[in-house]
Amino acid sequence: MRAASQSKGTKGLRITYLHQYFNTPDMSGGTRSYEMARRLVARGHEVNMVTSWRSQDGAKKPFVTVEDGIRVHWLPVPYSNTMRYSQRLVAFARFVMASAKLAAKLPSDIVFATSTPLTIALPGVFAARRRRVPMVFEVRDLWPELPIAIGALRNPLAIRAARALERFAYRNAAHVVALSPGMRDGVVQAGYPTNQVSVIPNSADLSLFDPAGVDTQAFRRLHPELEQRPLVVYTGTMGKINGVRYLVDVAAAARDRASEACFVVVGSGQQEEVVRQAACEAGVLDRNFFLYPPVPKRDMPQVLAAADLALSLFVDLPAMWANSANKFFDALASGTPVAINYGGWQADWLHKTGAGLALPPQDTKTAAEEIDQWLARPRAERQKAGGAARALAEQEFSRDDLAARLAEILESVAVGGASPLGAGSS
């Protein structure tokens, strides 16, 4: 590594941060990269975020904005969750080419590349080699295990290529950040040294979601059709892997039980029309099951403040148990009890703290019954669960604390000049 990187110390690093799906709080979707990057800036570092402008508004040329001190380089590469898998691959390839060219030109002391998609490793490695600096790689999902598990990746040659790309990413990383213990284990099983992997899960924004400062009735005023019925809310993507169709069946079972609960989805995605049609056929749409468009991150606290129970859902696959869904941590921060329909480390935390409940992944009638029983608890018990959720967010998943941990890793790698495993090899 070049001497300049080592002599700069831990302050004033020039960080090239690659994330294809970067969002600001004014956009819908996860804001982990924004939150981490702005805290890196506050710590005294210079951050160049390389990302895609995904809106199909006709933009043809790259442009730059400054978001809370982050210099964001937007590359016009349209993308949406409604795209077919083949269209997504084209978008991945376009972004790889454009971002590699740009990132290689940016003065840098370290490159930080965050997946998904796994293809982000290609511009990350290219830029790191061109700038002669180390790369830290962040694993948000275990690719290619997940697309293989859901059947999106079936061709044997494509699977071999994806596994080769996974090994390439790890081999050329000076350090790997995993978003859950299960992801860490997957990285290690792929042959990466345990002592060069750190777990930094998605985190809880304690100030944005502070329950003390949120109007709990604002969301209901926007949607008077909800009245004052108990709200069970899912906020997020309706992709194939999220399995939101599950909630339609829960709503139907709850209706059959004469439950007063309303089931609300705030989001969009590839499966949106599938979910809408299923709800219509089940006779629950706009009765006890409601679909609303996604909202900017800044407005999400009002949605969760209105909820009696927040949901995190996935299809019934053990591979999903290692997930680190933003919606889980947003709910904790808002002091909203959480229900999930999968096992793993998040279920362990809910059982341990009483901050929510784990629902059966396939038995939607039992899930509806368990939700009804939970909503029927005395108010004091439900408030206690909400307090446990907020306490868990504060004690284990504070965004400030986890961002500081990430900063320390980047500073240590940049200053120490750790060499990527197999650097220089193809």
DSSP 231-243: EEEEES---TTT-
Model pTM score? 0.89
Q: What percent of the chain has pLDDT over 70?
A: 94
Q: Is the separation of the CB atoms in 48 and 62 below 8 Å?
A: no
Q: Write out the residue limits of the CATH 3.40.50.2000 domain(s) in the chain.
A: 3-203+398-416, 211-396
pLDDT, residue 5, reads 36
Q: Treating both helix axes as pointing N-terminal to C-terminal, what angle do 121-131 and 85-103 enclose, rounded to 10 degrees?
A: 10
Q: Can you name the CATH fold of 211-396?
A: Rossmann fold (3.40.50)
pLDDT, residue 147, reads 75
Edge-first strand listing for the sheet containing 309-312: 289-292, 262-266, 231-235, 309-312, 338-340, 356-358
Superfamily of domain 3-203+398-416: Glycogen Phosphorylase B; (3.40.50.2000)
Q: Does position 55 have pLDDT exceeding 90, yes or no?
A: no
For 57, 58, 94, the CA distances from 76, given in Å and listed in that order, are 9, 9, 9
pLDDT band at 74 (very low <50, low <70, confident <90, very high): very high
pLDDT, residue 116, reads 79
Q: List pLDDT tens digits, range 116-149.
A: 788 999 999 999 999 999 999 999 987 777 777 7
Residues 409 and 202: their CA atoms lie apart, in Å, by 16
Q: What is the mean pLDDT of residues 21-34?
A: 92
Q: Is the separation of the CB atoms in 183 and 143 below 8 Å?
A: no
What one-character-per-residue DSSP string does 158-170 give? HHHHHHHHHHHHH
Q: List pLDDT tens digits, range 139-183.
A: 998 777 777 777 777 888 988 988 899 999 999 999 999 999 999
pLDDT, residue 419, reads 46
